[in-house]
Amino acid sequence: MQTQATTGRRITLRGELALLVAVTLNSFAVALTVYAGLGISPVSSFPYAVSLVFPFLTLGTWTYLFQGALVLTLMILRRRFVPSYLFSFVVGFVFGTLLDVYGAWLPNLPFTLGWRIAYFAFSCLVMGFGIALSNRCKLPIIPTDLFARDLSEIIHKPYANVKTTMDLTCVALSVLLTAGVLGNLQGIGVGTVVGALTYGRMAGFYGDLLDKKFDFVSVLSSRKEAL
């Protein structure tokens, strides 16, 4: 990344660039997880389950409704309208577009069980770093990541705990919906459970490393400091 300024041993990075890298990494990690075929990502499991139980709306529509509900919840908790949150839907659109791009060429990779396990393990590492980076960009991010990041700030709880709880809640609700209504688990695999247990911890680990060396500034943070 290109540095903007250096103070002592700490390096200041632009949040806009951090967000771009984070979205690129996270979309790649999610696409790789899907290709590995070991289970859908934890936060995606809930809208996926809802789309199976209530198929009159598409998965994409349920996903946008889920994201909208998360953003609305944050505004209710903050007791005010936050215009910058609306930008998170733009980030989500870019994220979805990149998913399609990666999904178009990933099928060219080997698909044996050993490779699939390797893909999933690598995707967990990439996802953890991408989430940690997006959490520090000081800009609105994908609604599902935005919710965990800002909720931890609102309730004053460690991000890793909030993220893990959110992921496990999504998985639990998905299990209840698919097993209770459809009679079988769909979309939930070992990768879903492992992801729910590790994404938050990995993001917290990478976040601690980033905090030791870097500071992040963005257009929004600069405006806040100027007020």
Question: Model confidence at 96, in pLDDT bands (50, 70, 90)?
Answer: confident
Q: How far is C-alpha 116 from the geometric centre of its chain's CA atoms?
A: 21
Q: In the predicted model, what is the mean pLDDT of the chain? A: 88
Using CA atoms, how far apart are residues 182 and 207, in angstroms rounded to an integer?
39
The fraction of the chain above a pLDDT of 70, given in percent, is: 94
- pLDDT for position 135: 94
Confidence (pTM) = 0.83
- pLDDT for position 211: 94
Enumerate the domain spans of the chain: 3-226
b/e per residue 141-162 (b: at least 16 CB within 10 A) = bbbbbbbbbbbbeeeeeebbeb
Lowest mean pLDDT, pick from 8-12, 67-71, 113-117: 8-12
How far, CA to CA in Å, does 18 sit from each of 23, 37, 140, 144, 196? 9, 29, 12, 18, 24
Using CA atoms, how far apart are residues 51 and 56, in angstroms rounded to an integer?
8
In this predicted structure, the answer to whether residue 31 has a pLDDT above a threshold of 90 is no
CA angle, 79 then 84 then 87, to 5°: 130
